[in-house]
């Protein structure tokens, strides 16, 4: 995740493995580099997956207050992208910046690790295991 100054845009013609259908704006050079990076490294741009109002997608506001863009992103490996529940912008947080906070809800299901039992030696007379 980070401030990549990459506008991935709303179009996902040949890049549907890397970006979703809910991006904003028009892709710029950094956006194309980010999409290429995601395609090569099997990642997905999380902020473009979920449908939200435009105000909950735009992450940066210009100093004059007229221009807003979606330039901060959270990337996740495609293997884990189903664990991503939601990505949205928190506009109300006062962080003294021209960027808004980007929040992601992630739900992981972890497997319980089972301890392996100690292998004993087999007793040849009874056919049962005995501890070493």
* Residues of the chain predicted below pLDDT 70: 117-132
Q: What is the pTM of this model?
A: 0.73
Angle at 19 between CA 15 and CA 22, to 5 degrees: 120
Angle at 100 between CA 95 and CA 102, to 5 degrees: 110
Give the Cβ contact number of residue 120 at 10 Å. 11
Top CATH class, 2-108: alpha beta
- What pLDDT is stored for residue 126 in this prediction? 65
- What pLDDT is stored for residue 119 in this prediction? 62
Structural domain boundaries in the chain:
2-108
Distance CA 96, CA 6 (A): 22
Selection from 44, 49, 56 nearest residue 18 by Cα: 44
Per residue in 65-86, pLDDT (tens digit) is 888 888 888 899 988 888 888 8
């Amino acid at each position: 995740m980070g401030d990549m100054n990459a506008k991935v845009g709303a179009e996902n013609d040949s890049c549907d493995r890397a970006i979703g259908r809910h991006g904003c704006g028009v892709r710029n050079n950094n956006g194309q580099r980010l999409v290429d990076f995601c395609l090569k490294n099997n990642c997905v741009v999380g902020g473009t997956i979920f449908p939200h109002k435009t105000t909950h997608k735009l992450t940066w506001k210009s100093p004059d207050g007229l221009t807003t863009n979606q330039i901060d992103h959270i990337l996740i490996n495609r293997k884990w992208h189903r664990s991503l529940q939601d990505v949205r912008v928190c506009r109300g947080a006062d962080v003294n910046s021209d960027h808004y906070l980007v929040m992601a809800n992630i739900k992981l299901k972890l497997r319980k690790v089972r301890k392996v039992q100690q292998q004993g030696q087999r007793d040849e007379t009874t056919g049962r295991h005995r501890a070493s």
